[in-house]
């Protein structure tokens, strides 16, 4: 049988009787697939593997422990032979053909009336691949297509809907590098009708959206909110109630100082289905881009994440407890003064990482006493993450006098490019 002789189609077997002749491993796999499709499965075989017996014991299928009989073809809509005995499979296949019942003959691929493709499901997409008489090739192609769909690199957007009810996904896009987005996030973007986008996060993915996807810009900068949060909430609900799949693409993680909880509550109040997809928070990932772990054995066993607008007086003001400030450039001097008043030593190292993961990422390092003047001198701007604590000593950009103590020096690169990374300097 040539591949050109195959007419691909999909069978709806929900609630319909089907027959599996054989009780081995192949029969068990085929029976399981038919059950997944909602078929009423009967297995006929003198003996059966444990998988078939367990399905029968649980009431999911009926097992007739006997040889095949012609009368078994009186009710099924579809037949699968898998006895492993060519003569038996050929008899079942021929008698099914006489009765115009589609039959897959596992013993004779070339003369089988139907073929079983390699199948996988991603979201509500089912992939079925035939590759002639080469099932391993079919499985390899199937797996590659499934992986591409799963990571959102193939189009998943709906163009015909069974329902007009829309949804909202609050998606954490991470610190800006598309490679740090989750697979689930990329898949949801591939399915989106509308993307409500922040100023930060992986902006480059917007260029790859399918034609026809609307992007609504709601980006904020410190002290400037052209689209207030209340209006963002209304946009999400409005677009979902219009039947759209809405992705709220946020930088970092929606639940880390991202107001995701407010957006979720507003959607639920208006009976809109909403889900939250966690992202890589910039509070941890951006310091890592500058070679700074937020905890490190012997230096820090805990950390706190706050905005620069928050009161810092209640935080542990110790070099061995890392403090991470988001959106804190404008209030940097005041924040350092607050920490100093709480007991933070003046020589505690502080790093400011601007535009983490971007081509022009810049790292500025000084002490708690000197960081504000140093930041003013080099013109530090948002977006930036500020890291306070001894973990900064591990950064390859730390100047020699702030480097880690000798007993931990094996964890630090031999050379250091200094306290200031100019724009465009390779990391």
Sign of CA dihedral 210, 211, 212, 213: positive
42-56 mean pLDDT: 96
* Separation of alpha carbons 168 and 28, rounded Å: 39
* Paired tokens of 217: 């810009």
| Residue 224 reports pLDDT greater than 70 | no
Helix (H, G, I), strand (E, B) or coil at 232: helix
pLDDT by residue (tens digit) across 232-280? Answer: 999 999 999 999 999 999 999 999 988 999 999 999 999 999 999 999 9
Cβ atoms of 312 and 382 closer than 8 Å: no
pLDDT averaged over the chain?
A: 87
Strands 321-326 and 384-388: what pairing? antiparallel
| Class of domain 3-116 (CATH, top level) | alpha beta
- Residue 83 banded pLDDT, cuts 50, 70, 90: very high
Domain boundaries, the chain: 3-116, 117-150, 167-280, 283-411
What percent of the chain clears pLDDT 70, i.e. is strictly above it?
90
* Separation of alpha carbons 210 and 153, rounded Å: 11
Cβ atoms of 173 and 199 closer than 8 Å: no
User: Cα dihedral angle (252, 254, 259, 264), rounded to 10 degrees?
Assistant: 160
Catalytic residue status for 198: yes
Catalytic residue status for 220: yes
Architecture of domain 283-411: 2-Layer Sandwich (3.30)
pLDDT by residue (tens digit) across 312-325? Answer: 888 899 999 999 99
pLDDT of res. 219: 78
Residue/partner pairs of 133-136 with CB below 8 Å, 24 or more apart: 133/109
Centroid of chain to Cα 12: 31
CATH code for the structural domain at 167-280: 3.40.1010.10
Q: Please name the residue that has the structure tokens 């949804």.
A: 167
Q: How far apart are the first and last CA of the chain?
A: 58
Helix (H, G, I), strand (E, B) or coil at 114: coil
pLDDT by residue (tens digit) across 117-170? Answer: 888 877 778 888 877 767 788 888 888 888 888 777 777 777 666 566 899 999
The one catalytic residue in 25, 32, 220, 330 is: 220
The one catalytic residue in 72, 89, 150, 198 is: 198
pLDDT of res. 247: 97
Question: Do the domains at 167-280 and 283-411 have one common CATH topology?
Answer: no
The CA distances from residue 40 to 51, 116, 249, 389, in Å, are: 17, 18, 44, 64
pLDDT of res. 418: 37
pLDDT of res. 161: 60
The CA distances from residue 273 to 63, 190, 195, 264, in Å, are: 42, 18, 16, 9
178-196 mean pLDDT: 91
pLDDT of res. 159: 66
Cβ atoms of 80 and 21 closer than 8 Å: yes
């Amino acid at each position: 049988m040539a591949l050109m002789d195959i007419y691909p189609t999909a069978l709806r077997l929900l609630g319909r009787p089907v027959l599996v002749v054989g009780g081995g491993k192949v029969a068990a796999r085929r029976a399981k697939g038919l059950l997944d499709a909602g078929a009423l499965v009967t297995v006929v075989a003198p003996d059966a593997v444990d998988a078939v017996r367990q399905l029968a014991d649980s009431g999911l299928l009926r097992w007739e422990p006997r040889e095949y009989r012609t009368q078994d073809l009186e009710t099924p809509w579809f037949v699968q032979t898998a006895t492993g005995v060519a003569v038996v499979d050929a008899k079942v296949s021929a008698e099914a053909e006489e009765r115009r019942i589609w039959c897959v003959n596992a013993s004779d691929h070339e003369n089988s009336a139907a073929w079983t493709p390699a199948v996988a499901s991603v979201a509500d997409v089912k992939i079925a691949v035939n590759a002639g008489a080469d099932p391993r090739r079919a499985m390899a192609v199937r797996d590659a297509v499934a992986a591409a769909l799963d990571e959102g690199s193939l189009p998943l957007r709906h163009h015909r809907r069974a329902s007009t009810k829309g949804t909202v996904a609050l998606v954490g896009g991470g610190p800006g590098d598309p490679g740090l987005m989750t697979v689930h996030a990329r898949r949801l973007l591939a399915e989106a009708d509308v993307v409500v986008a922040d100023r930060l996060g992986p902006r480059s993915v917007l260029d790859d959206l399918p034609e026809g996807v609307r992007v609504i810009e709601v980006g904020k900068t410190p002290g400037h909110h052209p689209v207030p949060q209340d209006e963002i909430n209304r946009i999400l609900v409005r677009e979902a109630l219009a039947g759209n799949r809405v992705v709220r693409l946020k930088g970092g993680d929606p639940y880390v100082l991202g107001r995701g909880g407010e957006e979720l509550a507003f959607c639920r109040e208006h009976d809109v289905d909403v889900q939250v997809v966690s992202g890589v928070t910039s509070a941890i990932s951006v310091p890592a881009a500058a070679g700074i772990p937020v905890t490190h054995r012997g230096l820090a066993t805990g950390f706190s994440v706050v905005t620069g607008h928050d009161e810092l007086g209640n935080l542990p003001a110790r070099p061995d407890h890392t403090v991470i400030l988001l959106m804190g450039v404008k209030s940097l001097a005041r924040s350092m003064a607050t920490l100093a008043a709480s007991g933070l030593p003046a020589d505690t190292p502080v790093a400011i990482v601007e535009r983490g993961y971007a081509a022009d990422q810049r790292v500025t390092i000084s002490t708690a006493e000197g960081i504000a003047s140093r930041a003013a001198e080099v013109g530090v701007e948002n977006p930036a993450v500020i890291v306070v604590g001894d973990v900064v000593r591990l950064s390859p950009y730390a100047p020699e006098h702030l480097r880690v103590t000798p007993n931990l020096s094996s964890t630090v690169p031999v050379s250091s490019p200094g306290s200031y990374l100019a724009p465009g300097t390779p990391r």
